[in-house]
Amino acid sequence: MTSINKYFIEKKNSGTTQSRLILASLLAMSTATAVNLGLYAFVSYLFPNVAAWSGTSPTHILIATIVYLTLATLVFAVVRRLSSRPARHYLIVATISLLLSLGQPIMLGFGPGLPGVPAADPTIAITLGLMHVISYAISVPMFIRMALD
């Protein structure tokens, strides 16, 4: 009888955890998207070349933020499931992922750029890099807080 009760308690907690993860993920996605679009609008106002570059647009920012934070949610779910210390381990994985993801904007701004797209200048690279940092700064504390509960 005890094992049956334990099964249902674990099942109930699992559903609660999944719904909280989905809620935290949606909140992180919407907040990061709004802040990234605000940053894009502000920087585009100050530096019109950012908005004029064909590699960035509000649609690109929206899709990229949602896709990358969906991946972050999946990684968090795996780390939480497998780790004895999910907050610490997710922080390490997320920080390494942030550092690796900053390579793309740096290479766009200071390297040869994408084929078929005009070269990006440093203001575009800095703006894209800031968007990565903003998404990290918004999503990681939400997921870590969830792991600690």
Name which of 123, 91, 99, 93 is nearest 110 in CA terms.
123
The whole-number pLDDT of residue 72 equals 94
pLDDT top residue among 6 and 68: 68
- Tokens standing for 73? 């949610």
Residue boundaries of the structural domains of the chain: 2-148
**DSSP secondary structure letter of residue 149:** -
Q: Categorize the per-residue pLDDT at 2 as very low, low, confident or very high, splitting at 50, 70 and 90.
A: low
Which of the four pLDDT bands, split at 50, 70 and 90, describes residue 76? very high
Angle, nearest 10°, between helix axes 2-46 and 58-82?
150
Residue-wise pLDDT for 98-124, tens only, equals 999 998 888 887 777 667 777 778 898
Residues 6+ apart with CB under 8 A from 77: 21
pTM of the model: 0.82
pLDDT, tens digit, 9 for 90 and up, residues 4-45: 545 444 544 555 678 888 899 999 999 999 999 999 999 999
Report the alpha-carbon distance of residue 134 to residue 130 in Å, rounded: 6
